[in-house]
Structure 1
Amino acid sequence: MSKKTPRKREKVVPKLRRPPKDPGLFLLRTLLAAFPQYVSGTYLAQGMKMSRVGVWNRVNNLRMQGLGIDAARNRGYRLTKEPALLNQSLLEAHMDAEQPNCRCVVLQSVDSTNSEAERLLNANRKTPFAVFANQQEKGRGRLGRTWHSPATGNLYLSVAFRPKLPASDLPLTSLWFGLKICHFLRDASGLDVQVKWPNDLLIQKRKMGGMLAEAKIDVDCIQGLVVGIGLNVNSKQKHFPKSLTGKASSFAESAGHALPLHELASGLVRCLIMAYEEYLEGLDFKALQKAWKEVDALQGQAVQVQTGKELLRGIARGIDQTGSLVIRLGNGKLRKLRSADVTLST
Structure 2
Amino acid sequence: MGQVLRHEVLSVLLENSANFLSGEEISKRVGVSRAAIWKHIKELRNEGYEIEAKPRKGYRLIYRPDRVATEEIQNELSTKLFGQQIRYEPVAKSTQILAHQWARAGAPEGSLVIADEQQAGKGRLGRVWYSPPKTGIWMSLILRPPIPIQQASHLTLLASVGVSSAIINQTNLPIKIKWPNDLLLQGKKICGILTELRGDQDKIEYIVLGMGINVNQQSDHFPSELKEVATSLAVQGKQSYSRASLIAEVMKELEYYYLLYLEQGFEPIRNRWESLSDLIGKKITAKTPQAKVVGVAESLSSDGSLMVRSGKELITIYSADIDKE
TM-score by structure 2 length?
0.88
One-letter identity of the residue aligned with 2:293 = L
Match in the other structure for 1:308? 289
One-letter identity of the residue aligned with 1:343 = D
Matched, 1:208 2:190: yes
Match in the other structure for 1:177? 159
Distance 2:173 2:296 in 1: 26
- Residues 81 and 246 of structure 1: CA distance in aligned 2, closer, same or farther (over 3 Å): farther
Contact 2:110–2:142 (8 Å) recurs in 1? yes
Q: Does the residue aligned with 2:129 lie in a helix, a strand or coil?
A: coil
Residues 19-62 of structure 1: CA deviation (Å, up to 9, x unaligned) = xxx76455333433344x23332653443355554433332222
Contact 2:89–2:114 (8 Å) recurs in 1? yes
Alignment of 1:111-122 (within 5 A): 111-122=93-104
Distance 2:285 2:188 in 1: 17
Contact 2:174–2:185 (8 Å) recurs in 1? yes
- Residues 253 and 34 of structure 1: CA distance in aligned 2, closer, same or farther (over 3 Å): farther
Match in the other structure for 1:272? 254
In the TM superposition, residue 258 of structure 1 has moved relative to its aligned partner by 1.0
Q: Please, which of 43, 53, 76 is the counterpart of residue 61 of structure 1?
A: 43
In the TM superposition, residue 65 of structure 1 has moved relative to its aligned partner by 2.7
Distance 1:74 1:252 in 2: 41
After superposition, the CA RMSD in angstroms is 2.5
Distance 1:27 1:135 in 2: 25
- Residues 227 and 101 of structure 1: CA distance in aligned 2, closer, same or farther (over 3 Å): closer
Q: Does the residue aligned with 2:60 lie in a helix, a strand or coil?
A: strand
Matched, 1:321 2:321: no
Q: Please, which of 309, 316, 320 is the counterpart of residue 340 of structure 1?
A: 320
Q: Does the residue aligned with 1:238 lie in a helix, a strand or coil?
A: helix
Distance 1:113 1:50 in 2: 33
Structure 1 stretches of at least 4 aligned residues deviating more than 6 Å after TM superposition: none
Q: Please, which of 186, 195, 198 is the counterpart of residue 177 of structure 2?
A: 195
In the TM superposition, residue 229 of structure 1 has moved relative to its aligned partner by 0.3
Matched, 1:253 2:235: yes
Q: Please, which of 278, 281, 298 is the counterpart of residue 297 of structure 1?
A: 278
Query: Is the deviation greater in 68-77 or in 248-257?
Result: 68-77
In the TM superposition, residue 162 of structure 1 has moved relative to its aligned partner by 2.1
In the TM superposition, residue 232 of structure 1 has moved relative to its aligned partner by 0.3
Residues 121-174 of structure 1: CA deviation (Å, up to 9, x unaligned) = 222233331111122222122222211111141111001122242011112221
Distance 1:318 1:338 in 2: 13
In the TM superposition, residue 281 of structure 1 has moved relative to its aligned partner by 2.2
Distance 2:264 2:318 in 1: 22
In the TM superposition, residue 93 of structure 1 has moved relative to its aligned partner by 4.2
In the TM superposition, residue 85 of structure 1 has moved relative to its aligned partner by 4.5
Distance 1:100 1:50 in 2: 30
- Residues 175 and 68 of structure 1: CA distance in aligned 2, closer, same or farther (over 3 Å): same
Distance 1:175 1:319 in 2: 10
How many residue pairs get aligned? The number is: 321
Match in the other structure for 2:10? 28
- Residues 118 and 157 of structure 1: CA distance in aligned 2, closer, same or farther (over 3 Å): same
Distance 1:284 1:323 in 2: 9
Matched, 1:141 2:141: no
Matched, 1:238 2:220: yes
Contact 2:21–2:60 (8 Å) recurs in 1? no
TM-score by structure 1 length?
0.83
One-letter identity of the residue aligned with 2:319 = S
Match in the other structure for 1:11? none
Residues 222-270 of structure 1: CA deviation (Å, up to 9, x unaligned) = 1111111000011111111111112111111111111111222233234
Contact 1:319–1:326 (8 Å) recurs in 2? yes
Q: Does the residue aligned with 2:245 lie in a helix, a strand or coil?
A: helix
Matched, 1:167 2:122: no
Q: Does the residue aligned with 1:289 lie in a helix, a strand or coil?
A: helix
* Unaligned ranges ≥5, structure 2: none
Alignment of 1:42-53 (within 5 A): 43-49=25-31, 52-53=34-35
Distance 1:239 1:145 in 2: 19
- Residues 172 and 241 of structure 1: CA distance in aligned 2, closer, same or farther (over 3 Å): same
